[in-house]
Chains A and B, each alone.
Chain A
Amino acid sequence: MNGDRRSTADAPPSEGEELLATAGDWDLPSERHLHHREVLMQQIDHDSAPAALTKPVPRRRWAPRPAVWVPVASLALAGTLVITASGGGRPGSDPAARTGSVGVRAGSVSVTLDRIAAAAMATDATPVKDGQYVYVKSLIRENTGTFDGPVRLGALHRREVWSVQNPRPVTRGGWMRDSGKDAVMPGEEIPIEFSDATAAGIDRPTYQWLASLPTDPDALLRLLYARATVSEGESKDQAVFRTVGDLLGSTVMPPANAAALYEAVKRIPGITVIADAVDAAGRHGIGITRDDPSSATRDEWIFDRDSLAYLGSRSYVTHDAARGITKDTLAGADAVIERAVVDRHGVAPAAAGTAGG
């Protein structure tokens, strides 16, 4: 490479240079620009918020946040037991689950979520009628310790949930039934009660409500930021990420809406990819995670490496000196085993038959 010896500064530009000079610019569609501009503005607003709102509060976010809504009855029965949203998994710090997140760039987050979205778009979902129930069977591990004490992971057990699809305000959101060791009232069907009658919405996400959401990721993200409820200590970004995670693990939704959710998640600051993550059932896959310094927690979603289908989730407490937690501590995990649409609650699909085929 001794080109500078034969400088061509005075020579006419070569074909390659001419090409470079005349090719001009390229541009994104305006909606993509609006999106990236909004990401920037959100980051600015986030970083500029009064310190009080963003100061780390490594508190118990373990206030009950089971599935999406709070099964009041089961909480009351649980007494001091704490039900975490996405309990389960293997005890221990699981350093393996975290290797791979280091050094994985944001670009790959985007690519990975694009693929997950594309896979979601290619799946089928049976429309659900108002009188039916969405059935989700999971394996879960929950934190059975106290709010203020160290994490005590309970045994892996089964949970079945039947969600009411009636769009009108109801106080009974559905039923749940746990079975196995460390289950609350094993084998009993427990009603999921709301203290106030609640219509289909972010707190009671029915199929029809999900189907009504915008499929434009930016519009969807705006809606999620507007409606996600911030739990104690967590950032708004985390509230949205957690809310989406709850939706992914507890609902049946149309493919276009699922795809839009994944595209929307790409825009939440702080998302990273984990090359190898494990759900509560021991299934390995690709992880999507968000470390939330504000609440000192980290949630992970796990996707099948081949089909890119959602498998389950894990939740960690990353730091809580008062509880003796100084490194990522698994506080819950789950694994979705089956989703179906059924006509009656209390009956598993195998017996009831999946309505609507």
Chain B
Amino acid sequence: MRSVPSVRQTEPTESLRARVRAGDRAAFAQLYDEHARAVYSHALRLTGNWAEAEEAMSETFLAAWRTRETVDPEGGSLKPWLLGIATHKAHNANRGVRRRLAFLAGHPPPPPVRDFADDAAGRIDDARRLAAVHDALRQLRRQDREVIALCVGAGLDYAAAAEALGIPVGTVRSRLSRARARLARLSSQPSDRGSRTDPRTRAGGTDRNRAERPALRGAEESEAAFAALFLQEDTP
């Protein structure tokens, strides 16, 4: 499906979906401009890591380009589609972190993200919010985490989340319900309610190292995911 650049421009009256399917350059530019921020934020919630999230965002749009012909010509916003790809990329990034830790063991830590925010206060606030959100999400099962990140974090409705993940709406409901119940239970635990000394749940912590120290249940799940990762394929 190759076409020369001059032919690639589709009628502006066509739907964005049709233009994306046709490989229209401007349509992808529009897609990026409208959704890059949401994709990045979603990837951040799931990875808890600035660099991974940025990479996942970039890969998401490249994957969207490659898989443009799978877009349904009928439908609404393409945001669920992009967030679905981003969910997958973020999952792979989390697996990649484990791999890299082995690969780069002994190396100095990467330099801090230089240009994330200009003012230090904003940067600390961003890191704080991220640490708090990621701390909450990491204690959930992967599937539940992804659903609640889409529905509550990114604000998709049930149908859109179902579209993003390619699962039935009923499954979205049950996973969301399970995620909510677990968050509620964790919030009500004495250790969290009391002096809030547990570093895992203390909102506002900015220690980046904690990202590498999974909560207990998270650790078990990560190991399982790690064991399975060699059997999995990346998205196109």
Q: Pick out which of these stretches binds chain A: B49-57, B78-86, B205-213.
A: B49-57
Does A21 have its Cβ within 8 Å of any Cβ on chain B? yes
- Please measure, in the bound complex, the distance between the C-alpha atom of A7 and the C-alpha atom of B108, giving whole angstroms: 46
- Please measure, in the bound complex, the distance between the C-alpha atom of A110 and the C-alpha atom of B178, giving whole angstroms: 36
* Contact for A8 among B23, B115, B177, CB less than 8 A: B177
- Please measure, in the bound complex, the distance between the C-alpha atom of A16 and the C-alpha atom of B117, giving whole angstroms: 26
- Please measure, in the bound complex, the distance between the C-alpha atom of A45 and the C-alpha atom of B28, giving whole angstroms: 12
Residue pair A6, B181 in contact (C-beta under 8 Å): yes
Residue pair B32, A37 in contact (C-beta under 8 Å): yes
Query: If the complex has contacts A7-B177, A28-B54, are A48 and B183 also in contact, measured as CB distance less than 8 A?
Result: no
- The digit string for B142-159, where 1 denotes a CB below 8 A from any CB of A, is 000000110011000000
- Please measure, in the bound complex, the distance between the C-alpha atom of A118 and the C-alpha atom of B58, giving whole angstroms: 22
Residue of A nearest to B41 (CB): A25
Query: If the complex has contacts A7-B177, A14-B184, A28-B54, are A108 and B100 also in contact, measured as CB distance less than 8 A?
Result: yes
Query: If the complex has contacts A20-B133, A50-B2, are A111 and B32 also in contact, measured as CB distance less than 8 A?
Result: no
- Please measure, in the bound complex, the distance between the C-alpha atom of A355 and the C-alpha atom of B206, giving whole angstroms: 47
Q: Within residues 1 to 35 of chain A, which ones have a CB less than 8 A from any CB in chain B? A: 1, 3-4, 6-9, 11, 13-17, 19-21, 23-29, 31-33
* Contact for B99 among A33, A47, A108, CB less than 8 A: A108
Residue pair A111, B40 in contact (C-beta under 8 Å): no
Q: For the complex formed, measure the closest distance between the CB of A216 and the CB atoms of chain B, giving whole angstroms.
A: 10
Does A219 have its Cβ within 8 Å of any Cβ on chain B? no
Residue of A nearest to B181 (CB): A3
Residue of A nearest to B37 (CB): A27
Provide the residues of chain B in CB contact with A168, threshold 8 Å.
none
Provide the residues of chain A in CB contact with B57, threshold 8 Å.
28, 36
- Please measure, in the bound complex, the distance between the C-alpha atom of A145 and the C-alpha atom of B38, giving whole angstroms: 55
Residue pair A108, B96 in contact (C-beta under 8 Å): yes
Residue pair A19, B133 in contact (C-beta under 8 Å): yes
Provide the residues of chain B in CB contact with A111, threshold 8 Å.
51, 100, 104, 110
Residue pair A4, B181 in contact (C-beta under 8 Å): yes
* Contact for A26 among B44, B100, B184, B186, CB less than 8 A: B44
Provide the residues of chain B in CB contact with A25, threshold 8 Å.
37-38, 40-41
Residue pair B104, A29 in contact (C-beta under 8 Å): no
Interface size class of A (residues with CB under 8 A): 35 or more
Provide the residues of chain A in CB contact with B88, threshold 8 Å.
none
Residue pair A4, B54 in contact (C-beta under 8 Å): no
Residue pair B126, A26 in contact (C-beta under 8 Å): yes
Does B202 have its Cβ within 8 Å of any Cβ on chain A? no
Does A330 have its Cβ within 8 Å of any Cβ on chain B? no
Provide the residues of chain B in CB contact with A275, threshold 8 Å.
103
Provide the residues of chain A in CB contact with B108, threshold 8 Å.
115, 118
- Please measure, in the bound complex, the distance between the C-alpha atom of A24 and the C-alpha atom of B234, giving whole angstroms: 29
Q: Pick out which of these stretches binds chain A: B11-19, B59-67, B69-77, B161-169.
A: B59-67
Which secondary structure dominates where chain B touches chain A? helix
Residue pair A14, B29 in contact (C-beta under 8 Å): no
- Please measure, in the bound complex, the distance between the C-alpha atom of A105 and the C-alpha atom of B234, giving whole angstroms: 9
Provide the residues of chain B in CB contact with A105, threshold 8 Å.
92-93, 96, 99, 234
Does B172 have its Cβ within 8 Å of any Cβ on chain A? no
Residue of A nearest to B44 (CB): A26
- Please measure, in the bound complex, the distance between the C-alpha atom of A82 and the C-alpha atom of B44, giving whole angstroms: 51
Q: For the complex formed, measure the closest distance between the CB of A276 and the CB atoms of chain B, giving whole angstroms.
A: 10
Q: For the complex formed, measure the closest distance between the CB of B177 and the CB atoms of chain A, giving whole angstroms.
A: 5
Residue pair A110, B130 in contact (C-beta under 8 Å): no
Provide the residues of chain A in CB contact with B136, threshold 8 Å.
16-17, 19-20
- Please measure, in the bound complex, the distance between the C-alpha atom of A103 and the C-alpha atom of B8, giving whole angstroms: 34
Residue of A nearest to B108 (CB): A115
Residue pair B129, A29 in contact (C-beta under 8 Å): no
- Please measure, in the bound complex, the distance between the C-alpha atom of A33 and the C-alpha atom of B177, giving whole angstroms: 35
Q: For the complex formed, measure the closest distance between the CB of B130 and the CB atoms of chain A, giving whole angstroms.
A: 7
- Please measure, in the bound complex, the distance between the C-alpha atom of A282 and the C-alpha atom of B61, giving whole angstroms: 40
Residue pair B129, A44 in contact (C-beta under 8 Å): no
Residue pair B8, A7 in contact (C-beta under 8 Å): no
Does A182 have its Cβ within 8 Å of any Cβ on chain B? no
* Contact for A48 among B25, B55, B141, B174, CB less than 8 A: B25
* Contact for A115 among B45, B96, B107, B130, CB less than 8 A: B107
Residue pair B65, A23 in contact (C-beta under 8 Å): no
Does A106 have its Cβ within 8 Å of any Cβ on chain B? yes
- Residues of chain B touching chain A, judged by Cβ–Cβ distance below 8 Å, are 2-5, 8, 23, 25, 28-29, 32-33, 36-38, 40-41, 44-45, 51-52, 54-59, 61-62, 65, 92-93, 96, 99-100, 103-104, 106-108, 110-111, 115-118, 126, 129-130, 132-133, 136-137, 141, 148-149, 152-153, 174, 177-188, 203, 230, 234
Q: Name 22 A/B residue pairs within 8 A (Cβ), A-sorted.
A: A4-B174, A6-B181, A13-B180, A14-B187, A16-B187, A17-B136, A19-B132, A19-B133, A20-B183, A24-B41, A25-B37, A26-B41, A26-B130, A28-B37, A40-B32, A48-B5, A50-B2, A103-B230, A105-B93, A107-B56, A107-B59, A107-B100
- Residues of chain A touching chain B, judged by Cβ–Cβ distance below 8 Å, are 1, 3-4, 6-9, 11, 13-17, 19-21, 23-29, 31-33, 36-37, 39-41, 43-45, 47-51, 103-108, 110-112, 114-115, 118, 275, 306, 308
Q: Given contact pairs A37-B32, A43-B65, A306-B106, enumerate 20 new A-B contacts (beta carbons under 8 Å).
A: A3-B177, A3-B180, A4-B177, A16-B186, A16-B187, A17-B184, A24-B41, A26-B44, A26-B126, A39-B62, A40-B29, A43-B62, A50-B2, A104-B103, A107-B59, A108-B99, A108-B103, A111-B100, A114-B51, A118-B108
